Chain A
Amino acid sequence: MSRSAPGEFEQLVLLAILRLADRAYGVPIVEEIRRRTERSVKRGAVYVVLRRLLAKKLVVARMGDPTPERGGRARRYFTVTPAGLAALAESRRALLRMWDGLQPLLDGMEV
């Protein structure tokens, strides 16, 4: 695995961004991960990951329009780059290959 391959949490953030399409900014990203993984997530941790993903060029950011609910501040929207998608796909492939043939282990477990 190369050094820039996303870790588990980074993958979750990337996937959340993909699911949210053009609605992907801080608040719903956190909500989406919480909802789907059923685990508590620290907001600050998500921001840290977003910064890292930007640095690795796996996502890009753009500013939206200011809204009054945000005290006149704009939203910061994120989009997964092609590189980001490729990295995600590679991680998925690697994981699936590792899981190959191990499905019976999961029988009887709630998956």
Chain B
Amino acid sequence: MAGGRPPAWAVGLLSRIVPAAEREGVLGDLEEVWRSRYPAGGLAGAAWYGWQAVSVCFSLLLSFDDERLTNHGGRLRPSIGGGGGFMRTIGLDLRYALRGLRLAPGFTVVAVATIALGVGANTAVFSVVDAVLLRPLPFGSPDRLAVLWETDPDRGRKRVSPPTLIDWQEGQRTLSGIAGLTEEKWVVTGDAEPQVLSGAGVTPDFFRVLDVRMIAGRDFEESDDVVGAEPVALVSSGFAMSRFGSVAAALDRTVRLDGSPVRVVGVVPSEASYPAHADVWRPLTSSIGGGGMRARAAHILIAVGRLRPGVTLEQATADLARISAGISEYDGESAELQSLHSWVSGDVKTALLVLLGAVGFVLLMACANVGNLFLVRATGRTREVALRSALGASRARLVRQFLVESMTLGALGGAVGTALSVWGVRLIAALSPTELPRRAEIGVSGPMLLFAAGVTLLTGVLVGLASALSGTRLDFTGALKEHGPASGAMRSNRVRSALIVAEVALSVVLLAGAGLMVRSFLTITAIDPGFEAAQATAFRISLPAWRYPEPTSQTAFFNQLLERVRRMPGVTSAALSSNMQMGGSTMTTPAKIEGRELEGALASLSVQVSSVSPDYFKAMGIRLLEGRTFSGADRNGSALVAVVDSEFAYRFFPDGRAVGKRARTSFGDPVMKEIVGVVASTRHRSLTADAPPYFYTPMAQSEWGFAWVVVRSTGGSAGLIEAVRAAVRDIDPEQPIQQVATLSDLLARSFARPRFQAELLGGFAAAALLLAALGFYAVIANATEQRRHEIGVRLALGAGRRDVLRLTIGQAMALTAFGLAVGIPGALLAVRVLTSLLFRITPTDPTTFVAVALTLVAVAALASWLPARRALGTDPVRALRE
């Protein structure tokens, strides 16, 4: 007997597919033929058997129930009467649908592309929403974690002071743990390049409260957090890998933080880093000192707590408020809790949900467009549908066939769209502002793909259902006649017109939203910051106290640096400041005016204080309005002077001159200083925050520890940055530069988020316009085609260009008008959600809405122009004959 056996996989496949009654016969037949043809077995035999097995299974699964005999090039297909199983009819529909799509490549390409656009955009935005808003934080039971605030009636929320934290820890009953942290930056020196690291000083139970386990070494203990304990630290796994090569290698190593040696005792998994980019943690006492731990007025801690099981935020809030009321020296001091998740997500929730809504609109429009295309196709197949119905196909059967078609299309479009979204997610992540919370977690994920599949399914069903229900409602006798127009065509037209009106309405909402965001963004960029941002670069250099203990040594460093910088080619001015505009730090205190008792708001008005070198205003491009700026004469020992800005002058001296008057702040010497000049007002925190009053003092007359070096030059910033780095290295090789940025970059951070929102929303609006234009074109073209006869008659009867144009473009205008009538009221309601995101623009801004309406009218006119021209070219004689 011949060797071997047929391939096991093929036998297994057949065993599974072939019904039990036939199994023995079929399997036996195949093996018999196999043995007779391939007595030696071999690869060819295995291939043959495998192919036969697949072919037989295929036939059995998709056996036809079609009445017709089809004869393709000699191959007989069986004509089998009677209905088959459910699987068989779906299989038939699937083959039929695929063939139909293959035979209509134009339609298929447009439909697949449109669906891909809708699915891709939605999936990409959803993945961002998922990462930033939905995904739980990487801690144990993250929904039980809360951020704790102190509050007072004046200033609202404040950070927690260490003594209050201890009082809360001791007196509370609703939390299983409370921890506190201060954000810190340390300079790491030692065996490698000096590096600036973000980190935090934390209470010893911090990671236990978060329920984060160390991946190596140990966590902090109570004994680490006392004055005089051995200096220890925890590092992130990312830092351990990059600095020491591996997580294990970091344990017990010594690093120098700001010069002091600390021993690494544990490694924190990088994904569970809190605060977000922290790499180093130290016990709180070593950070803020024993005195800091006792200062009730120092609101410096971010406090985190874990709720006991079953306890609500409200209960915990009441608990802590009770303790605060008991210990507080002031009236009204209290406590507030917020879920950690909502604090981390910050205020981006609104913006992201708006984006998700917008992109959902785009998907609806895509569905409407594809639905339209389907209806066109359906009316083109009225005869075929009528025939099938006459031959006994039930309505349900026909609807099912339409659905299979639309879902096949949906599946194809969904697959392409999902692939697009993978690329789209990366694009969005790259465009997003760096302060977007949890930005590093944005990427392709399981939930995202699930979402894509769900959206695809929904699209397929929506599109198919709409066209199926209308497409199968045809009057069949009319369709079966040779040339009669199906009255169903009119019904189909109405559905299509309704779809276009819906598209216009959706477009209005999208365009209005995008228009408002763009205008808001442009308004922000048009704000005058008060200084010259172009051609200026800023460097932040923080001299550690342990290496520069005397003010004179710090002065010496900076004087040396300034001298070198001023000699560099292209530099027009260089200066120092302790608190630069847009620099990220705020030093504010109330002011006092000589000879006047300030009352009310003026008494507690926060004034920005800054110590600057004489050239500062020149380097920053801040205009002098009155009097003079600082000079070399204003130094230690000479009369104390100050310069204020116009906002300060306006607030404190509304009726007269500020120059010559005397004032001081609670910062530095409690000695009145003479105001010698008034400069232009500047923005400080960001472009959108109001300009605060400024009080400048000469650097030579104040104490300062860290400084911004501002350099104005004519050349490019890259060369300048390198040169300044080299100069600093020359003066002190172990001194890093904490931050380098051009003033333009710092400004740009102010509008990073509005720009991102405007870009995304603008992109969606553009997609919506494109879809609307395509939709218009399709509807008008088809309507014109159907009315050829009528147009021919009119032309023959002497109608002019204008009349025909009225028919086509007029129809488009009518649909647009309907769409606007529906869309504008809807948009006026919908854009209210944007209120918090807009700057100095009301959501109901009339200019924007007018622009939107005009844009849509123009798009509709343009899109219907081509069919209109074709209608004009109608040959009346031919049209009449048809």
> Is there a chain A Cβ closer than 8 Å to B714's Cβ?
no
> Is there a chain A Cβ closer than 8 Å to B141's Cβ?
no
**Are A52 and B33 interface neighbours, CB within 8 A?**
no
> Is there a chain A Cβ closer than 8 Å to B80's Cβ?
yes
Chain B residues near A68 (CB-CB < 8 A): 1
Chain B, interface SS category: helix
> Which of A4, A40, A45 touches B78 (beta carbons < 8 Å)?
A45
**Are B59 and A42 interface neighbours, CB within 8 A?**
yes
> Which of A7, A26, A37, A39 touches B80 (beta carbons < 8 Å)?
A7
Tell me how far the C-beta of B475 lies from the nearest C-beta in chain A, rounded to whole angstroms: 28
Bound CA span A80–B58, Å? 27
Q: Contacts A41-B76, A69-B32, A73-B31 known; A47 to B81 CB distance under 8 Å?
A: no
Nearest opposing residue in chain B for A37, CB measure = B76
> Which of B5, B33, B69, B78 touches A71 (beta carbons < 8 Å)?
B5
Chain A residues near B78 (CB-CB < 8 A): 7, 9-10, 45, 48-49
**Are B69 and A70 interface neighbours, CB within 8 A?**
no
Bound CA span A9–B64, Å? 13
Chain B residues near A5 (CB-CB < 8 A): 81
**Are B28 and A48 interface neighbours, CB within 8 A?**
no
Chain A residues near B63 (CB-CB < 8 A): 45, 48
Nearest opposing residue in chain B for A52, CB measure = B80
A42-74, CB under 8 A of B: which get 1 and which 0? Answer: 111101111110000000010100011111011
> Which of B25, B31, B55, B81 touches A7 (beta carbons < 8 Å)?
B81
Give residues 54-98 of A contacting B (CB, 8 Å).
61, 63, 67-71, 73-76
Tell me how far the C-beta of A63 lies from the nearest C-beta in chain B, rounded to whole angstroms: 7
Nearest opposing residue in chain B for A54, CB measure = B21
Q: Contacts A7-B81, A69-B1 known; A27 to B29 CB distance under 8 Å?
A: yes
Give residues 17-75 of B contacting A (CB, 8 Å).
19, 22, 24-33, 35-36, 52, 55-60, 63, 69, 74-75
Determine which residue in A3, A45, A67 has the highest number of CB atoms from chain B within 10 A of its CB, and name it: A45
**Are B35 and A69 interface neighbours, CB within 8 A?**
yes
**Are A45 and B52 interface neighbours, CB within 8 A?**
no
Chain B residues near A43 (CB-CB < 8 A): 29-30, 52, 55-56, 59
Bound CA span A15–B33, Å? 22
> Is there a chain A Cβ closer than 8 Å to B82's Cβ?
yes
Give the size range of A's interface with the partner: 35 or more
> Is there a chain A Cβ closer than 8 Å to B243's Cβ?
no
**Are A10 and B80 interface neighbours, CB within 8 A?**
yes
Chain B residues near A7 (CB-CB < 8 A): 69, 78-81
Tell me how far the C-beta of B372 lies from the nearest C-beta in chain A, rounded to whole angstroms: 40
B1-21, CB under 8 A of A: which get 1 and which 0? Answer: 110011000000000000100
Nearest opposing residue in chain B for A78, CB measure = B25
**Are B55 and A71 interface neighbours, CB within 8 A?**
no
> Is there a chain A Cβ closer than 8 Å to B395's Cβ?
no
**Are B56 and A71 interface neighbours, CB within 8 A?**
no
**Are A48 and B74 interface neighbours, CB within 8 A?**
no
> Is there a chain B Cβ closer than 8 Å to A8's Cβ?
yes
B180-216, CB under 8 A of A: which get 1 and which 0? Answer: 0000000000000000000000000000000000000
**Are B79 and A73 interface neighbours, CB within 8 A?**
no
Tell me how far the C-beta of A67 lies from the nearest C-beta in chain B, rounded to whole angstroms: 8
Tell me how far the C-beta of A28 lies from the nearest C-beta in chain B, rounded to whole angstroms: 10
Chain A residues near B56 (CB-CB < 8 A): 43-44, 47
**Are B75 and A39 interface neighbours, CB within 8 A?**
yes
Chain B residues near A73 (CB-CB < 8 A): 24-25, 27-28, 31
Nearest opposing residue in chain A for B63, CB measure = A48
Bound CA span A6–B823, Å? 60
Tell me how far the C-beta of A30 lies from the nearest C-beta in chain B, rounded to whole angstroms: 8
> Is there a chain A Cβ closer than 8 Å to B277's Cβ?
no
**Are A47 and B26 interface neighbours, CB within 8 A?**
yes
Bound CA span A51–B65, Å? 13
**Are B76 and A47 interface neighbours, CB within 8 A?**
no
> Is there a chain A Cβ closer than 8 Å to B388's Cβ?
no
Chain A residues near B57 (CB-CB < 8 A): 44
Chain A residues near B81 (CB-CB < 8 A): 3-5, 7
**Are A8 and B79 interface neighbours, CB within 8 A?**
yes
B423-464, CB under 8 A of A: which get 1 and which 0? Answer: 000000000000000000000000000000000000000000
Determine which residue in B19, B63, B81 has the highest number of CB atoms from chain A within 10 A of its CB, and name it: B81
Bound CA span A46–B448, Å? 46
Tell me how far the C-beta of A62 lies from the nearest C-beta in chain B, rounded to whole angstroms: 11
Bound CA span A74–B31, Å? 11
Chain A residues near B36 (CB-CB < 8 A): 69
**Are B1 and A45 interface neighbours, CB within 8 A?**
no
Q: Contacts A7-B81, A43-B56, A52-B82 known; A25 to B25 CB distance under 8 Å?
A: yes
Bound CA span A70–B625, Å? 106
Bound CA span A101–B182, Å? 106
**Are A3 and B52 interface neighbours, CB within 8 A?**
no
Chain A residues near B491 (CB-CB < 8 A): none
> Is there a chain A Cβ closer than 8 Å to B77's Cβ?
yes
Give residues 72-122 of B contacting A (CB, 8 Å).
74-82
**Are A27 and B58 interface neighbours, CB within 8 A?**
no
> Which of A3, A12, A37, A71 touches B28 (beta carbons < 8 Å)?
A71
Bound CA span A70–B78, Å? 27
Nearest opposing residue in chain B for A77, CB measure = B25
Bound CA span A8–B69, Å? 8
Tell me how far the C-beta of A36 lies from the nearest C-beta in chain B, rounded to whole angstroms: 12
Nearest opposing residue in chain A for B64, CB measure = A48
Bound CA span A10–B67, Å? 12
Chain B residues near A48 (CB-CB < 8 A): 59-60, 63, 78, 80
Tell me how far the C-beta of B615 lies from the nearest C-beta in chain A, rounded to whole angstroms: 91
**Are B31 and A47 interface neighbours, CB within 8 A?**
no
**Are B59 and A45 interface neighbours, CB within 8 A?**
yes
Tell me how far the C-beta of B715 lies from the nearest C-beta in chain A, rounded to whole angstroms: 79
Nearest opposing residue in chain A for B27, CB measure = A73
Chain A residues near B30 (CB-CB < 8 A): 43
Bound CA span A37–B58, Å? 24
Nearest opposing residue in chain B for A55, CB measure = B82
Bound CA span A49–B78, Å? 7
Chain B residues near A41 (CB-CB < 8 A): 76
Bound CA span A42–B77, Å? 8
Nearest opposing residue in chain A for B33, CB measure = A27
Nearest opposing residue in chain A for B31, CB measure = A71
**Are A76 and B24 interface neighbours, CB within 8 A?**
yes
Q: Contacts A8-B69, A9-B76, A42-B75 known; A47 to B33 CB distance under 8 Å?
A: no
Chain B residues near A69 (CB-CB < 8 A): 1-2, 31-32, 35-36
Chain B residues near A51 (CB-CB < 8 A): 19, 22
Bound CA span A48–B5, Å? 26
Bound CA span A51–B24, Å? 14
Give residues 840-877 of B contacting A (CB, 8 Å).
none
Determine which residue in B36, B59, B75, B77 has the highest number of CB atoms from chain A within 10 A of its CB, and name it: B59
**Are A71 and B1 interface neighbours, CB within 8 A?**
no
Nearest opposing residue in chain B for A47, CB measure = B26
Instruction: Pick the 8 closest A-B CB pairs, nearest first.
Output: A44-B59, A76-B25, A73-B28, A70-B28, A26-B29, A7-B79, A44-B56, A9-B78
Chain B residues in the interface with A (C-beta under 8 A): 1-2, 5-6, 19, 22, 24-33, 35-36, 52, 55-60, 63, 69, 74-82
28 contacts across the A-B interface (CB closer than 8 A): A10-B80, A12-B76, A26-B28, A43-B30, A43-B52, A43-B55, A44-B57, A44-B58, A44-B59, A45-B78, A47-B26, A48-B60, A48-B63, A49-B78, A50-B22, A52-B80, A52-B82, A61-B25, A67-B28, A69-B1, A69-B32, A70-B28, A71-B5, A71-B6, A73-B27, A74-B28, A76-B24, A76-B25
Sample of 19 further A-B pairs with CB below 8 A, known A44-B57, A76-B22:
A4-B81, A8-B69, A9-B77, A10-B78, A37-B76, A40-B75, A40-B76, A43-B52, A43-B55, A44-B59, A45-B59, A45-B78, A47-B56, A47-B59, A49-B78, A69-B2, A71-B28, A74-B24, A74-B28
